[in-house]
């Protein structure tokens, strides 16, 4: 009978020097709180420090040119942000890790990444753009806004995240209705982004019932990239639906239905590499009713739209890795790997990130070599294709922490190699 747990001890982890083990840890709320909001903690942090945030509602924050890890102190809740989170101006070698955040733009994007030569690692987060605002009397009307906007970034990773463009469901006024588009889930311009096990969704366009000649709003694209590298594994990209066109009386002109959004829209020499993912085009909206001249239904979106761009569809199934985000020293922690029965599982870890796409490995290697934790052979996946292994977290220097990134390589019994999703975790001294 196959055991559901294989126990191994990563002695190599304890023997290697921890290059960033002097990092300080600042607590935002929770026991032994240092701060009540996130921004004051960022203001005193140095490169490589860790900010541990307890679930609750917080003001927006910005990380500017600072290597930092922001992680939940308790995974039983989320870090709720009403507004836009921003990470920008990371130099090469600087890294930011975000975990457990749910940010909803109040009048903008959920997350902005801009001008980062360093790596950004994001896991278990949710980002939503602001919903459309008709604002008939204030003059500040806007369509649904983007969930995540990334520009000029060298290395971004999303793992187990939800990204959504703003919707138009709240757009309504009894006397005036605007045709408003749904927001795009993810917009990337001159970026390299790898996405694992995530949902990227565009918002639906507005419907304008009872308003003669007004067209329904266009659905937002799931992802729209320009001059970018995009890798996706085990993801869903969904375009938003187009809105219903305005109805008309017998003498009026009904509106056309809005077009549906695309699952992915890639342009300007973008380079797509797609594994075991789903692409759902948004449906076009119906034309309005009535009138001497009929309106036209909106067009459905497409699964993946390419304009002067390339697409590689990788064969096989996605491989998945999961590990807790907080790893306390001298404890046993679970590492769960999901793949195909008979896969041989190899595990590596590093404090440093690097993007290197390897087509024969069906994905990018996202750790910098030489690895801080050399390759460990965990074992072979059973008939279920899922196995939980246990690792021994080493002793840490007093009152220190460090952030590590884990990735598995899975070798099918027929040969070849599949790289798993990447997971970032904080190793903590027990005195913190």
Residue range 75-105, pLDDT digits in tens: 999 999 999 999 999 999 999 999 999 999 9
Regarding beta strands 363-367 and 353-358, do their DSSP bridges make them parallel or antiparallel, or are they unpaired?
A: antiparallel
pLDDT at 236: 99
- Least reliable range by pLDDT among 163-167, 260-264, 392-396, 414-418: 392-396
More confident position, 141 or 246:
246
Whole-angstrom distance, CA of residue 246 vs CA of residue 187: 29
Place of tokens 């995240």: 161
Whole-angstrom distance, CA of residue 94 vs CA of residue 110: 22
* 247 and 290 Cβ atoms separated by less than 8 Å: yes
Place of tokens 């747990």: 5
Residue range 12-48, pLDDT digits in tens: 343 344 544 568 999 999 999 999 999 999 999 999 9
Place of tokens 């039983």: 76
The residue among 72, 74, 50 whose CA lies nearest residue 63 is 50
At 360, is the secondary structure helix, strand, or coil? helix
State percent of the chain over pLDDT 70: 89
User: How buried is 122 (Cβ within 10 angstroms: 0-12 exposed, 13-18 middle, 19+ buried)?
Assistant: buried
Q: Cα-flanking dihedrals φ and ψ of residue 159, to 5°?
A: -130, 125
pLDDT at 136: 56
User: How buried is 74 (Cβ within 10 angstroms: 0-12 exposed, 13-18 middle, 19+ buried)?
Assistant: middle
Residue range 201-248, pLDDT digits in tens: 999 998 887 666 788 999 999 999 999 999 999 999 999 999 998 888
Mean pLDDT confidence for 404-419: 97
pLDDT at 403: 95
Whole-angstrom distance, CA of residue 223 vs CA of residue 314: 19
**Torsion sign, CA atoms 94, 162, 367, 329:** positive
Whole-angstrom distance, CA of residue 167 vs CA of residue 203: 4
Q: Cα-flanking dihedrals φ and ψ of residue 361, to 5°?
A: -95, 5
The residue among 155, 178, 158 whose CA lies nearest residue 223 is 158
Structure tokens at 348: 């590596």
């Amino acid at each position: 009978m196959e055991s559901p747990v294989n126990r191994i001890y990563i002695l190599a982890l304890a023997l290697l020097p921890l290059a960033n083990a002097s990092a300080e840890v600042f607590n935002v709320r929770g026991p032994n709180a240092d701060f009540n909001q996130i921004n004051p903690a960022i203001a005193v942090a140095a490169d490589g420090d860790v900010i541990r945030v307890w679930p609750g509602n917080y003001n927006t924050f910005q990380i500017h040119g600072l290597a930092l890890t922001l992680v939940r102190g308790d995974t039983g809740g989320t870090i709720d942000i009403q507004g836009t989170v921003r990470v920008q101006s990371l130099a090469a070698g600087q890294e930011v890790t975000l975990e457990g955040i749910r940010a909803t733009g109040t009048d903008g994007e959920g997350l902005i990444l801009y001008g980062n030569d360093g790596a950004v690692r994001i896991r278990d987060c949710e980002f939503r753009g602001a919903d459309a605002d008709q604002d008939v009397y204030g003059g500040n009307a806007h369509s649904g806004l983007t969930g995540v906007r990334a520009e000029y970034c060298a290395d971004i990773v999303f793992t187990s995240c939800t990204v959504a463009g703003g919707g138009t469901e709240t757009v309504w006024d009894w006397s005036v209705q605007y045709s408003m588009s749904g927001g795009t889930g993810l917009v990337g311009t001159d970026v390299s982004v790898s996405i694992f096990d995530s949902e990227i969704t565009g918002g639906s366009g507005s419907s304008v019932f009872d308003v003669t000649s007004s067209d329904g709003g266009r659905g937002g694209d799931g992802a729209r990239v320009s001059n970018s590298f995009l890798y996706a594994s085990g993801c869903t990209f969904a375009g938003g639906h187009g809105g219903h066109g305005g109805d008309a009386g017998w003498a009026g002109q009904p509106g056309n239905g809005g077009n549906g959004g695309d699952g992915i829209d890639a342009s300007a020499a973008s380079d797509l590499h797609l594994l075991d993912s789903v692409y759902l085009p948004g449906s076009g909206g119906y034309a309005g009713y009535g009138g001497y001249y009929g309106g036209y239904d909106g067009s459905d979106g497409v699964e993946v739209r390419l304009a002067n761009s390339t697409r590689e569809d990788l064969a096989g199934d996605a491989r998945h890795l999961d590990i807790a985000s907080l790893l306390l020293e001298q404890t046993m922690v679970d590492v769960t790997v999901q793949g195909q029965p008979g896969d041989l599982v190899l595990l590596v870890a590093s404090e440093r990130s690097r993007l290197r796409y390897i087509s024969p490995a069906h994905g990018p290697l996202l750790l910098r070599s030489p690895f801080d934790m050399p390759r460990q052979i965990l074992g072979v996946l059973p008939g279920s294709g899922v196995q939980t292994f246990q690792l021994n977290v080493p002793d840490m220097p007093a009152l220190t922490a460090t952030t590590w990134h884990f990735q598995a390589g899975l070798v099918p019994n027929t040969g070849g190699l599949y790289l798993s999703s990447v997971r970032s975790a904080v190793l903590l001294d027990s005195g913190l």
